[in-house]
Amino acid sequence: MITEEELLVRMKPGCICKGIKLHIILKAIEDGATSFEEIAKITGIGGGSCKSKRCGEKVALLLKESLHHPDKKTSPPQNN
């Protein structure tokens, strides 16, 4: 079960430039996306004024975690 704290973290921005919440990115990863390009295609992230610098770093961390813990539900980054 998702905690209230995790729910609040998931509602934070995932891609600030495009206004896409973190939970949308996490869902794409949980559904099997394994690269920034796949996630960008599914969610619409990237291509903003920062040229994917901010969301690219978040996605890289999330993908790294999901690849190291494939059976664990993806957790949002704690430093956002």
41: its two tokens: 């295609």
Sequence-distant (6+) residues with CB within 8 A of 32 are none
Q: Residue 49 corresponds to which amino acid?
A: S
Q: Which is nearer to ligand FES, 2 or 19 (CB)?
A: 19
55: its two tokens: 């969301």
CB of 36 to ligand FES, least distance (A): 10
Q: Which is nearer to ligand FES, 29 or 45 (CB)?
A: 45
CB of 80 to ligand FES, least distance (A): 11
CB of 62 to ligand FES, least distance (A): 13
